[in-house]
Amino acid sequence: MTTTAVPFHVAAFEGASTRPYWLDRPTAPARRPPLRGPATCDLAIVGGGFTGLWAALHAKQDDPSREVVVVEADAVAEGASGRNGGFVEASLTHGLENGLRRFPDEIELLERLGHENMAGLEAFIDRHGIEADYEKTGMLIVAREPHEEVELREHAEQLRGFGYDARYLDGDGVRQEVDSPTYRGALWQRTGSAIVDPARLAWGLAGAAESLGVRIHEGSPVDALRSTPGGVELRTGGATLRARRVILATNGFPPLMRSIRRYIVPVYDYVLVTEPLSADQRAAIGWRNRQGIGDAANQFHYYRLTADGRILWGGYDASITSETACRPGSSSGSPPSSCSLASSSRPFRSSRACASAIAGPV
């Protein structure tokens, strides 16, 4: 009798759940009813993630009399907004270094806007009492090679020049935070970086929007969009919604308008999370605080401790695949004149990707 050994990398995931960690909890809000029958509004928003919810909030705050309706194909946060690592960064350019290389003439403005955006997020959470485990923990970027130590020292000085609280930690210093013998040093960026529970943030945004009078319908996938004399008509199942204007906030999902497919760039992403660590396991790892950790060799990899003592690990492949990987939308032609397009600056390949939307964590 012969037996076949199960490879370690397969056995390690035996029994793992594919349900996103943030969304898999008994405290998730009850589903809102889908759109039924014909309805009208001033502004329709397609997508119940960060982009759509923030748009609804701003639209209602700008004009409280405006009728705003959000239609979501699944449930709030079930797309990219509930499938990310929960990192919040002030940078709008995916890091100061990247911004300096690509937008040297605009970097001061971009940095100011980024910090204002993060401060606005913090103020909103406080004002509405949203319990989203938001913590300004900072970020460690660790060095494992001598040349990375030099780079991180230089980057710390660069960050300080733009007003960040940043300092370089030597080997002993970084091991006071995470006791790994492989870490030779680290850049500790104390400001401009935080962690959050993205699903609870999205659920809190939805509740705040509803408190202002926004109507949210879940389980309402929009399968057609057409111009009408008075604006736009959306069809979802057997229901129709007529609106003066519409915002498409569907992120990396196949766009309703075929003409905007070329704006969607699919990128692969992943996030994994462990079972809760025991006290002995935490002690063995020597991870003392809940800050995020990035790798200087590849800053697309990141780690963090969750509130219930799990290690979350994720990242994404920086290579861009063909945009033909996106399935075509169900409509064709140019967007109606009353149609606005809102999407993430980092759209992803599939509806199950771990991505983020504008104004949300990554």
**For residue 322, what pLDDT is reported?**
26
Q: Is this model's pTM higher than 0.85 or not?
A: no
pLDDT at 113 over 90: yes
Task: Tell me if residue 282 falls in helix, strand or coil.
Answer: helix
User: Average of pLDDT values for 110-119?
Assistant: 96
Query: Using 50, 70 and 90 to split pLDDT, how confident is the model at 263?
Result: confident
Task: Tell me if residue 27 falls in helix, strand or coil.
Answer: coil
**For residue 74, what pLDDT is reported?**
96
Least confidently predicted of 10-14, 123-127, 307-311: 10-14
**For residue 321, what pLDDT is reported?**
30
Q: What is the dihedral of CA 264, 265, 268, 273, to 10 degrees?
A: -50
Least confidently predicted of 103-117, 240-254, 336-350: 336-350
**For residue 359, what pLDDT is reported?**
31
Closest CA to 138 of 81, 187, 70: 187
pLDDT at 197 over 90: yes
pLDDT tens column, 325-340: 222 222 223 333 333 3
Q: Which domains does the chain have, with CATH numbers?
A: 32-86+197-267+321-362 (3.50.50.60)
